[in-house]
Structure 1
Amino acid sequence: MPQDDLMPIGAFAQRSGLTSSALRFYADSGLLPPAEVDPVSGYRYYGADQVARATVLRQLREIAMPLAGVEAVLGAGADAASRLLDEHVARVVGDAVAAQQKAAVIRSALGAAPGLPVAALKGPVLADAVEQVLTATAHEPGLPVLAGLRIEASHEAVTLTATDRYRLSTRTLVPTEPPTQTWAGTVDGDELRAAAAEIRRSPLVRIEAVPHGIWFRVADREDRHCRLLSEDFPDYRLMLASLGEVTTRVAVSKDLLLRALEEHPGERIGLDVADHGVNVVSGDGEHPGIPLSATATGRALRIRFELTTFYPAVSTAIGPDVMLDLRGHDQPVTIRSADRGDLTTLAMPIKADHPA
């Protein structure tokens, strides 16, 4: 290689983001040998065409991939490299979850206060409810509580609630044994989502509160621990209490509505409600609508939604039909099962002239 195309190790370190010592290590290990080594001084020189390989090498090490894995990825084609990356990430995530569970066990063994029994619920029912309500969570910088799920136990019921400020989902469950006292806490949504599979396979799950977390106690399986979030959960009851009067009510087939939402182009959709039923239109009004047979009462209404807000609210509804309680084009719509009201979702509409 012409000398003008080579750069000394210091310059290459700046280009690649690797330290000089790391470059020497990777050269000695055979992962990134220099293009040339001065036979007299021993100085190492690298070519510009090696920057890309060095950058990928650095990125792989940043996600804690071992040297053998790095070598395999660098030597593989695109499809095989992608598979190796997925396998590595799955191992890292699995190890992190296992570490969290072991840490929870260790905390219990260190003499923490005894757990407080919260409620006993059927595992499959609880898992379904968790997954349904968690669709209304979001990861927002500075607002970790929006990724959490609120659990509230009263003497009669257990209520699960989540909100991302554009949706609010809540479901009420009847425990198999009435709770002896009230309790409330906001659980880390990611950890709860990971625990749902284990919960689903357990006929009975007992929820037990401990400092900074809750345990899901299951028979003949490994108990699961989830952290509690310290931030205040939004006052959703105040929002529910301030909802206006329902002016239009629609009952429609859930499957037909979902199919119409899937078929319509665009990121925004609209509902035109009249006596004859519902017309699903695009949010920009540029595409013909899809008419749906529905039972509609009240005044005619045109309302618009972001697809990412409205679709999950409909898809998680229980039963073959959904009920839409509408209060106006700029007010939250309540989406619930037409025959079972224990899962309720609020979805915020957008203005008809919402910018693209």
Structure 2
Amino acid sequence: MRSIGEMARDSGLSVSALRFYDGAGLLVPAWVDPVSGYRWYGTEQLEESRLLARLRRAGMPLADIRLVLAGWSGADSGLVRQLLQAHLRRLEQGLADARSEFSTLRALLELRENPMTVLPTAAVGLAVSAPELAAALDAVRFAVSTDPELPMLGGVLFDIEGEALRVVATDRYRMAVAQAGVTGHDGPRVQAVVPSPLADAMRALLSDDAPVRLTVDGDRLALETGDRQVAGQRLDHDFPDYRRLVRLPAGQRAFIDVPAFRKAVETGPVRAGESPDQGGVSCDVSVLRVAADGVVTVCEDVDDDQGHVAVNREFLLHALAAGARDQLILEFAAPTAPLAIRRTDTEDAFSLLMPVRLEN
């Protein structure tokens, strides 16, 4: 007999996924301890669990997986082959449709150029509050992308407009926005994408309250304080129009005590979900539900109400830490809408987490 932990290790399925597949009747343990409820699996179930993991990675629906497993255990190779071939045809048709749509989109892009980054025509120099810039960089750094295929997201956007410097980072699946006050800039809006190593060097320079000066000169950025300076080239890429990305439908707000909520997330139930930033592999997901009285709970079951959202648990913990407050606001709109994590003292600093698709 294998424990659920051993089964997870040997099969490639997470413990939460094994619990889910037990509940779905796909992979029922050979024995469940009537006292502790602990699941135990027979040695012969290891092959089925590995097959199940492969089928899920291939994106096969659970209804078809159920038939494949039945045919596999009954040695009905004809049925299994037909199901696999039918799923492969669906995947190939889906890929063909996607290629056609992307071909059309590329043609449209060639006919339409709409750069989102405003290139400064002259050097821009301004004074920045060192503590505010340090806090802003701390609030967004966790959301910077490391995907080499999306170099435009591999840095932090500095968006200078009026007396505000907005600092933005996103890896598509999470976004963080913060703000620092500036003086000395009365020209047009200026944007520059600061590569993450340069952003980290800038953050290291902001160790005290000494005056700080930020300069954007063509493709070069520099941050000076006293006799110290860090400088480098900005990324030669356009950053997405983040102002469009933060428009969310109206939802319900809930105030949370961060230390208590963090503990609830760390120790609460998790579900299996597909993490798109890792190629669709399983990740631990926290399902959050907000009640009518504003109480947020980490739950295991999901029903059809609109008061819940499933998010990558690791990303959620990062966002809570980046909020750097003992109290934050969670904003729920719908299960398919991003979860907003906002500070209580300003509307200009927040994070967004994209919802995760649960394995079902």
**TM bin (shorter chain):** 0.5 to 0.7
In the TM superposition, residue 354 of structure 1 has moved relative to its aligned partner by 3.1
In structure 2, distance between residues paired with 1:341 and 1:235? 18
Aligned-pair identity in percent equals: 24
Task: Choose the corresponding residue for 2:250, options 239, 245, 251.
Answer: 245
Indicate the residue corresponding to 2:142 in structure 1: 135
Render the CA deviation track for 1:246-276: whole Å, top value 9, x for unaligned. Answer: 2x21111111111222223652111121135
Aligned to 2:223, the other structure's residue is in SS state: strand
- Normalising by structure 1, report the TM-score: 0.58
**190 and 253 in structure 1: CA distance in 2 versus 1, 3 angstrom threshold:** same
In the TM superposition, residue 115 of structure 1 has moved relative to its aligned partner by 7.6
Asked if 1 retains the 8 angstrom alpha-carbon contact of 2:306 and 2:334, the reply is no
Is 1:271 paired with 2:288?
A: yes
Larger RCO, structure (CA 8 Å, separation 6 or more)? 2
Asked if 2 retains the 8 angstrom alpha-carbon contact of 1:117 and 1:206, the reply is no
Asked if 2 retains the 8 angstrom alpha-carbon contact of 1:207 and 1:215, the reply is yes
Asked if 1 retains the 8 angstrom alpha-carbon contact of 2:285 and 2:310, the reply is yes
**Pairs within 5 Å for 1:224-243:** 224-241=230-247, 243=248
In the TM superposition, residue 137 of structure 1 has moved relative to its aligned partner by 0.7
In structure 2, distance between residues paired with 1:327 and 1:300? 8
Asked if 1 retains the 8 angstrom alpha-carbon contact of 2:128 and 2:211, the reply is yes
Q: How many residues align?
A: 224
Structure 2: gaps (5+ residues): 1-120, 271-283
Is 1:207 paired with 2:207?
A: no
Is 1:328 paired with 2:346?
A: no
Aligned to 1:180, the other structure's residue is in SS state: coil
In the TM superposition, residue 119 of structure 1 has moved relative to its aligned partner by 2.3
Is 1:124 paired with 2:131?
A: yes
Asked if 2 retains the 8 angstrom alpha-carbon contact of 1:139 and 1:147, the reply is yes
Spell out structure 1 runs of 4+ moving beyond 3 A: none
In the TM superposition, residue 202 of structure 1 has moved relative to its aligned partner by 5.2
Task: Choose the corresponding residue for 2:157, options 127, 133, 150.
Answer: 150
Asked if 2 retains the 8 angstrom alpha-carbon contact of 1:245 and 1:327, the reply is yes
In the TM superposition, residue 312 of structure 1 has moved relative to its aligned partner by 1.4
Is 1:188 paired with 2:205?
A: no
In structure 2, distance between residues paired with 1:321 and 1:341? 14
Asked if 2 retains the 8 angstrom alpha-carbon contact of 1:275 and 1:300, the reply is no
Is 1:350 paired with 2:344?
A: no
Q: Which residue type is aligned with residue 238 of structure 1? A: R
In the TM superposition, residue 206 of structure 1 has moved relative to its aligned partner by 0.5
Indicate the residue corresponding to 1:312 in structure 2: 318
In the TM superposition, residue 326 of structure 1 has moved relative to its aligned partner by 1.1
Aligned to 1:127, the other structure's residue is in SS state: helix
Larger Cα-atom Rg: 1
Structure 1: gaps (5+ residues): 1-113, 287-298
